[in-house]
Chains A and B, each alone.
Chain A
Amino acid sequence: MSEELRRIAGELLSEKKVGVVIGYASTVADPNRTTPIFIRRPEDAEKLVWNPLCVNNLTVYLTKKKPEIQALGKPAIVAKGCDTRSILGLIKEFQLKREDVVILGMSCEGVVKDFRSWNGALSNGNIAQKCLYCKVRTPATYDFLVGDELPGVEEDDPFFDVKELESRSVQERKAFWDREFEKCIRCYACRQVCPFCYCDRCIADKTMPRWIESSAHERGNFAWNIIRAMHLAGRCIACDECSRVCPADIPLNLLNREVEKEIKEKFGYVAGMDTETEPPLRTYSEDDDDSWIR
């Protein structure tokens, strides 16, 4: 698949159909990692790789957070299924026009959960949890499809990952998250890696007034992490990048997936599958469930 990808990328660049190809390259020092690469010249297309180490959600580079990348010209982007869901979400939020990006969709059987666990092949021991319930092994949208069409994973309960936590009492869940958030150092890796955290001035950075305390203590960390999850409600497509990048090893995916489950159950909505369905938190419908209003 790498060969096919390089060929398409090279042609797009030499025919000047795009100004930059955003993809993955091998890292120099560590064979067990990949890193984002911005290819400008057709001859550099050979640097592109495709393998289960291609974990990054590169769509973050399409957002207004990275004006210097946007300035490189019309992008083509190497995108796994989960990444294409981000792109559809960004289009729905008017951050991107479909015609302004060329999507090189990669059919994907999974990526590693973290670079440390790579041992040459993808297995149940090192596959990312999100891949175990992936419905977009063939990307949700694309201009080119590299690889064969693959069916989504069949799973009786698509939210099996949050089941265990859900089964605990409120007190137990609070204790769980208090312990996890105690480790948070407010590095904002979760925010910066997320394609949907593109606010010009994040609420955590506002000072007039100070909505969220910047200190890495219980109050500040709880406020930050919960508010970020709430601001992503109905938008997050659970690419799980936030969990992967957290240097404090906090399972942020559990929080976002729980919110995703609530959105599915309450509004019947799944983010990032198309550009037509209205996101629930910006729409009002008379049949919205209001049983929770007491």
Chain B
Amino acid sequence: MKGIVGYRRPFPGTQPDYNYPPYASTQKRCPTQALVLPPQTLSEITGPVFGHGDVKPGDSDLTRQHKGDPIGERIVVSGRVLDENGRAVPNTLVELWQANSSGRYPHPTDQHNAPLDPNFSGAGRTVTDAEGRYRFITIRPGEYPWRNHYNAWRPAHIHFSLFGQAFLTRMVTQMYFPGDPLLPYDPMFTCIANEAARNRLVSVFDWETTIPEQALGYRFDIVLRGREQTPMEKMP
């Protein structure tokens, strides 16, 4: 098939390697043989299409999923999903999950000695609007220890999962909070070599989305892979 407009290869240093020794679990889970670089075909420039019918309006408010209010600091997390050409990615599914305010996940393998919150499940989802915007209301997640190295703590973070418009734009990432002192020690954060790319994962405090007397706003813009060539725009 001709006329396939492919997606750009990553800019060096902006994506993690599969083998990153400071994150110990990568050692037995990274491929050891060279990856095969095939051409992008119709199978990869397409991908599952989700829409507003796949989510319910309440899915994006994690503070209203149970009878009571969850414990912790309410926050608004919002932003835009763009591609590498700066274009909005509209109508795309955004999934999110996170720990509660004490740094605990309601998951059987999370044995951290911190309380569960019966009013907080920590999962949400939404679909971006025509301008690529999304918005969640949630609770600021707590930091928590893990066993990667001595006295290892994860910085506060929120997991994001996005599809974009193709199999090739699929992305799972994490959002961090500005000024978190744990960031320089966190191998998930440091696995991205390029400093600007690393800092792209840190949200910014956002006065405009802060709700008076209710919730602080954090803005987190996400950039998905973009097309190699963009259709020529008509010159005036």
Say if A and B assemble together.
Answer: no
- Residues on A lying within 8 angstroms of B by beta carbon are none
- Residues on B lying within 8 angstroms of A by beta carbon are none
